[in-house]
Amino acid sequence: MEVVRYLLSLAAGSAMPLGFSPFDLWPVPMLAVGTVFLLTRTLPVKKATLCGFLFGVGMFGAGTSWIYVSIHEFGAASPMLAGLLTGLFVLGISALMIMPAFLLYSWLNQRKAEQSKSNRLPPWQQALLFSSIWVLFEWVRSWLLTGFPWLLSGYALLDTPFSALAPVIGTYGLSLLMVTTACLLFALVIPAKQKRTPDIIALLISLGCWGLAWPLAHIQWTEKTGELSFSAIQGNIPQSLKWDPDFIHSTVSTYIGLTEDQWEQELIIWPENAIPLFYNRAQGLMTHLDRQARQNNTTLILGMPVDDNSGSETRYYNSILSMGDGSGRYDKQKLVPFGEYVPMESMLRGLIDFFNLPMSDFSQGHSEQALIQAGDVKIASYICYEVVYPDFAAQMAQESGLLITISNDTWFGKSIGPVQHFQIARMRALETGRYMIRATNDGITALIDEKGDVVETIPRFTSGVLSSSAEIREGQTPFMALGSWPVLIIALLMILLVIYRKSSIDGPD
């Protein structure tokens, strides 16, 4: 029986990614989490914790399989070594960020049952305890060891009528609503001696929260103040050639050629590290581009590595520059481990090619940076992975009229990683009530409106130009103003409600 529980936990975790893009089967995460809740509610701490670990292995093993593509195809690691490193990542993140949630839940569940001298907590209390701990640990994933807030449950609701809740409660709020409702629904199948009135009341309250999406859908949290014509350039440069010194001229020529007929636009955007040269080694090119942009009264925003010699030692940054009619520079703050810096560098650097990837020695940008500008429009800009952090993105957007994210998802080939990344970017636009322009090397380049809907896009794995107009908007959504703190406080209060409430005796299963 225990082996069956463990296998079911692994299977439930493996099913979780079906709720996210490109599959978008949003009820699946509810079924998966509800299943593992049922599987673990009566288990002792050690067995419940193991179930949680296996759930995490399934979830990250299936949902972040794109890491293998990056390590093998672009990190020059053999299939066996790439599989080993990917497996170690999956095991490590499951052990650090999923298993402790189940350990805490099962320990509190068991301890509370012992204190109340009952067989176990009533199902509705177990459901509240499980869901609140689940969401708190999703939040922990956003900052522990630089953070990995990927596969958050709430993303599954993006393309549903319930997405209207996101500008109010954010992604973690959607997660709390989903998981709480799922656990309460599954709790109703649990036999119990006492009346089920509390279980039904709790479920009705949860379902009532879902219903708030309908009136909220008619509220415009931000208002349009203008428009900005733009062209986003998708170069589709093969990753294997991007940093090849012999191919640099061809790369630059590709972007200049695609931009040639776009200078009448108010804004032109090139993707992350579009110019594979450090800023100080490309002075002639940058002067030329700045002059051409000024002559056409347009703003050119592009990504490139910057070597900063202003301090006692040279620092390298993954940056966005605005030139021509625009101004400002933004240095990336949220760096990707191993991709942009190497933890324990003295030990790992040089062991295998994966630890010597191009541009893997960046410094972290300062937290207090002015927004870049395109003419008079202030723009909140995010480089690649930065867009996965809900509260970070909302804070950056405070004074902005438009969002821009540039990326190079070529690292992940034709895997599901870039599509998941695009879904996450759309949620940031929805949470902040801002239009977002997404410019990438090989897709998905797109214009996203303030509701998180895709207005226009161009095909992946092609070179091309997306030309359109983006609305400039002002105002704040409730999530921008308050962040995730109200949801985290509610989750803590749910835990306290269970811990300090006198429990009635539950019957055997």
Give the active site residues: 272, 332, 384
Label residue 500 exposed, middle or buried (CB < 10 Å: 0-12, 13-18, 19+): exposed
| CA angle centred on 192, ends 188 and 198, rounded to 5° | 60
How many CB atoms sit inside 10 A of residue 80's CB? 9
C-alpha–C-alpha distance, residues 390 and 120, integer Å: 36
C-alpha–C-alpha distance, residues 272 and 384, integer Å: 7
What is the phi/psi pair of residue 196, to 5°? Answer: -90, 10
Strands 454-457 and 464-474: unpaired
C-alpha–C-alpha distance, residues 66 and 15, integer Å: 16
Q: By three-state DSSP, how is residue 183 classified?
A: helix
Q: Are 506 and 121 in contact (CB under 8 A)?
A: yes
C-alpha–C-alpha distance, residues 361 and 478, integer Å: 38
C-alpha–C-alpha distance, residues 496 and 477, integer Å: 29
C-alpha–C-alpha distance, residues 159 and 24, integer Å: 8
Q: Based on C-alpha coordinates, what's the Rg of the chain?
A: 24
| CA angle centred on 173, ends 168 and 179, rounded to 5° | 150
C-alpha–C-alpha distance, residues 171 and 160, integer Å: 13
Say how far residue 18 (Cα) sits from the centre of its chain. 16
